[in-house]
């Protein structure tokens, strides 16, 4: 084999590998940022002297949107409410966001990427922001438990499918025999 044939084979192999890599799904973090933050302690300073263990409620959701051809913003919203005897001790709200480069991901997988994969990346940042915010408000630190965003996403998809099935079932007229 001549040197020219070896070079041509090597170039073809390299081109094939390059094309395969270009077709592979790509997800890259471009930026992680705090989009919004709010803290309220409506009953301070009386809330500092309350005894007993307060009830802590945590709500979270996420939203993803396309901002450019391969750029997507995902925002993870976390609201932590602390109550004692129906009085709000504090309310902390965080919107932790990320800008992601997402390319070559099949359309049917985009919901999973935006609704579970990206929030999973954002959660540690949001958890730290909530902890810091609550501590700065003068209250004991709160470390949020890990969240299984894959399970939450699957549950949300199942709920939407059930609601849509119920809606379609109600829309069809009854047939009597």
Residue 15 lies in a domain: no
Which of 84, 70, 76, 2 is CA-nearest to residue 33? 76
Does residue 173 lie in a domain region?
A: no
| pLDDT value at 23 more than 90 | no
Does the pTM surpass 0.85? The reply is no
Q: Is the dihedral angle over the CA atoms 99, 102, 106, 107 positive or is it negative?
A: positive
* pLDDT tier, 158 (very low <50, low <70, confident <90, very high otherwise): very high
Please write the tens of the pLDDT for every residue from 25-64: 999 999 999 999 999 999 889 888 888 889 999 999 999 9
Query: What letters, b where the CB count within 10 A reaches 16 and e where it falls short, cover 128-163?
Result: ebbbebbeebebeebebeebebeebbeeeeeeeeee
In the numeric block, the tokens 């829309």 are attached to 171
Instruction: Give me the mean pLDDT over the 147-151 stretch.
Output: 94
Question: Residue 90 belongs to what domain range?
Answer: 26-168
Gap between the Cα atoms of 28 and 161, Å rounded: 30
Residue 145 lies in a domain: yes
Whether 11 is covered by a domain: the verdict is no
Q: Is the pLDDT of residue 92 over 70?
A: yes
Number of domains in the chain: 1
Question: Is 18 part of a structural domain of the chain?
Answer: no
- Examine the pLDDT at 124 and tell me if it is beyond 70: yes
CATH code of 50's domain: 3.10.420.10
Does residue 9 fall inside a structural domain?
no
- Cα-Cα-Cα-Cα dihedral sign, residues 18, 20, 23, 27: negative
In a domain, 70, yes or no: yes
- 87 pLDDT more than 70: yes
- Under DSSP, the state recorded for 173 is P
Band (177; pLDDT cuts 50, 70, 90):
very low
| 11 vs 71: which has the higher pLDDT | 71
166 vs 177: CA distance, rounded Å = 22
**16 assigned to some structural domain:** no
pLDDT of the residue at 175? 45
């Amino acid at each position: 084999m001549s040197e020219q044939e070896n070079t041509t084979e090597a170039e073809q192999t390299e081109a094939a590998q390059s094309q395969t890599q270009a077709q592979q799904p790509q997800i890259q973090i471009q930026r992680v940022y705090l989009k919004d933050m709010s803290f309220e302690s409506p009953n301070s300073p009386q809330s500092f002297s309350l005894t007993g263990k307060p009830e802590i409620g945590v709500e979270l959701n996420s939203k993803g949107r396309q901002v450019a051809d391969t750029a997507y913003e995902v925002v993870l919203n976390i609201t932590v409410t602390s109550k004692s005897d129906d009085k709000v001790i504090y309310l902390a709200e965080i919107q932790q966001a990320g800008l992601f480069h997402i390319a070559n991901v099949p359309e049917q997988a985009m919901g999973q990427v935006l609704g579970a994969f990206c929030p999973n990346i954002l959660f540690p940042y949001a958890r730290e922001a909530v902890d810091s915010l609550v501590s700065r408000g003068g209250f004991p630190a709160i470390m949020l438990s890990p969240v299984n965003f894959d399970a939450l996403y699957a549950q949300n998809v199942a709920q939407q499918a059930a609601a849509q099935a119920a809606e379609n079932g109600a829309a069809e007229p009854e047939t009597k025999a």
